[in-house]
Amino acid sequence: MGSEGFTEMTRLAAARERLLSAVSSPAESEAADVATADGRALAAPVDAERDVPGFDRAAMDGYALRAEDTYGASGRSPTVLDAVEGAVGPDEATYVHTGSPVPDGADAVVKVEQTDERDGRVEVFAAAPPGDNVAPAGEDVESGDRLLPAGHRLRPSDLGLLKAGGHREVAVAPRPTVSGVPTGEELVAFDPGHGETVETNGLTVSRLVDRWGGTATYRDIVGDDLGALRAAVEGDTDHDIVVTTGGSSVGERDLIADVVGELGEVLVHGIAIKPGHPAGFGVVNDTPVVMLPGYPVSAIVAAVQLLRPAVAKAGGFEPEEFPEREATLEGKIAGEVGRRSFVRVRETSRDTVKPVRGGAGVLSSVAAADGWVVVPESLEGVAAGETVTVQRWEPFL
């Protein structure tokens, strides 16, 4: 037997690659209103259907005029033009607001603070070259330009761009459906008695799936019973992914790997990460089943490392990279040769971080952390005072 009862500990990169090979990319698309498409993944590239802006527009409040009429204008020797409305002819100027169309005949706008209007005459105190303070048609986007590629996960700024470019609807990949099945005889929904534990893993992971672009179904607790576990797993294989929490280790009450093996095939059981090594996954009825450990921190780490990219592939997009920054480590952190360790840290200043103490069962340590330091499989740890890279996963949790 290998480490802690597992016959084999699969490296994280290999495990992730094998899981992703079992996850299907979306085969269909659906139309989504641009106004409600935030977080959806584009099923096809989108091109602009019109110029943005669709006309030459004023970039400043001021006077639209012919640039040649301002040559030689200065504070001491202003050019004097006739104030008119509409189209501009020689020695004429029209007042315009920011964003309004530049009238016919004008090719420049002089800022209002560089002018003075009185009695139907406009004094211009600065020369303006052609195109000055004018946003030409198509300056932002030209008709036919590629706005966004297929697989792009839409952000609020993208929605504005799509709408400006002429799109009311876009083709998006369906949100991947994920069934969250919490397991454990000792779990209760609320108000625990002696020896009972409030179920949190299924809730946490389900809400993470929602943030990652999926649609999660948070199931009732399933006890450590082979028949009940079989029914729960097999009954939800109409989802894109099934994820279980708890019961993934190798003890007498850890039954989920046996259930997946009976119903389908276990592909990986035991992953070389810390915390989270009892995680694994398999396939039942062509549906990936991700088995997460019962300790809360282990479940979160394994979910981020395995389930998050799986949800992304099922949703037709690439997961975003975690923002990273360099910091000096206050206090040593431990690793383990042969396992990739994810050590929670808390920011103590702009340039320093401190390890957050607490084992894999201490859920509050996640709330107290600002990110984690990844200790590679080749190191036993990192000494205090070293510069480390902090992955700030907080925005994703």
| H/E stretch holding 205 | helix 201-211
The whole-number average pLDDT for the span 353-361 is: 92
Question: What pLDDT was estimated at residue 73?
Answer: 95
C-alpha to C-alpha distances, 111 to 2, 11, 62, 146, nearest whole angstrom: 76, 63, 4, 34
Q: Strands, DSSP E only, in 165-295?
A: 169-172, 177-182, 187-188, 197-198, 215-218, 241-245, 265-269, 273-274, 280-284, 287-292
**Residue among 106, 105, 107, 125 at smallest CA distance from 115:** 125
Residue that finishes a domain, picked among 314, 344, 367: 314
**Residue 152: is its pLDDT beyond 80?**
yes
Please indicate, yes or no, whether residues 263 and 387 belong to a single structural domain of this protein.
Answer: no
Alpha-carbon distance 331 to 35, whole Å?
Answer: 48
Is residue 319 a part of any domain in this protein? no
Going by pLDDT thresholds of 50, 70 and 90, the confidence category of residue 6 is confident
Q: 114, 124 in Cβ contact below 8 A?
A: yes
Please indicate, yes or no, whether residues 179 and 167 belong to a single structural domain of this protein.
Answer: no
CATH of residue 231: 3.40.980.10
The whole-number average pLDDT for the span 244-255 is: 93
| H/E stretch holding 311 | helix 308-314
In the structure encoding, which two tokens stand for residue 279, read together?
């995680």
Identify the three-state secondary structure at position 38.
Answer: coil
Is residue 257 a part of any domain in this protein? yes
Is residue 303 a part of any domain in this protein? yes
Alpha-carbon distance 308 to 194, whole Å?
Answer: 34
Question: What pLDDT was estimated at residue 4?
Answer: 63
Write the burial class of residue 301 (CB in 10 Å: 0-12 exposed, 13-18 middle, 19+ buried).
buried
Q: 396, 371 in Cβ contact below 8 A?
A: no
Q: 71, 103 in Cβ contact below 8 A?
A: no
Is residue 207 a part of any domain in this protein? yes
Please indicate, yes or no, whether residues 181 and 282 belong to a single structural domain of this protein.
Answer: yes
For 30-71, write each residue's pLDDT tens digit.
Answer: 999 999 999 999 999 999 999 999 999 999 999 999 999 999
Please indicate, yes or no, whether residues 149 and 45 belong to a single structural domain of this protein.
Answer: yes
Q: 9, 338 in Cβ contact below 8 A?
A: yes
In the structure encoding, which two tokens stand for residue 138, read together?
């198509």
For 287-326, write each residue's pLDDT tens digit.
Answer: 999 999 999 999 999 999 999 999 999 999 998 888 999 9
Alpha-carbon distance 174 to 315, whole Å?
Answer: 7
Q: Any idea what the Cα angle at residue 102 is, between residues 97 and 103, rounded to 5°? A: 115
Please indicate, yes or no, whether residues 305 and 222 belong to a single structural domain of this protein.
Answer: yes
Please indicate, yes or no, whether residues 189 and 282 belong to a single structural domain of this protein.
Answer: yes
Please indicate, yes or no, whether residues 14 and 94 belong to a single structural domain of this protein.
Answer: no
Alpha-carbon distance 392 to 397, whole Å?
Answer: 10
Alpha-carbon distance 236 to 243, whole Å?
Answer: 10
Question: What pLDDT was estimated at residue 321?
Answer: 87
DSSP letter for 338, please. Answer: T
Is residue 333 a part of any domain in this protein? yes
Is residue 19 a part of any domain in this protein? yes
Domain residues for the domain of 153 are 33-50+141-172
The count of domains in the chain is 4
Please indicate, yes or no, whether residues 239 and 259 belong to a single structural domain of this protein.
Answer: yes
Q: 59, 109 in Cβ contact below 8 A?
A: yes
Question: What pLDDT was estimated at residue 333?
Answer: 95
DSSP letter for 183, please. Answer: B
Q: 131, 106 in Cβ contact below 8 A?
A: no
**Residue 394: is its pLDDT beyond 90?**
no
Please indicate, yes or no, whether residues 124 and 237 belong to a single structural domain of this protein.
Answer: no
Residue that finishes a domain, picked among 135, 156, 183: 135
Question: What pLDDT was estimated at residue 367?
Answer: 87
What percent of the residues of the chain are helix, what percent strand, and what percent coil, each to the nearest 5? 20, 30, 45
Residue that finishes a domain, picked among 287, 314, 341: 314
Alpha-carbon distance 26 to 9, whole Å?
Answer: 31
Q: Whole-number mean pLDDT of the chain?
A: 95
Please indicate, yes or no, whether residues 212 and 281 belong to a single structural domain of this protein.
Answer: yes
Largest CA distance in the chain: 97
Strand partners, 372: 344, 391
Residues shown for the chain: 397
Alpha-carbon distance 26 to 41, whole Å?
Answer: 10
**Residue 214: is its pLDDT beyond 80?**
yes
Please indicate, yes or no, whether residues 364 and 266 belong to a single structural domain of this protein.
Answer: no
Please indicate, yes or no, whether residues 296 and 227 belong to a single structural domain of this protein.
Answer: yes
Alpha-carbon distance 89 to 93, whole Å?
Answer: 8
CATH of residue 374: 2.40.340.10
Going by pLDDT thresholds of 50, 70 and 90, the confidence category of residue 101 is very high
Is residue 361 a part of any domain in this protein? yes
Alpha-carbon distance 274 to 339, whole Å?
Answer: 6
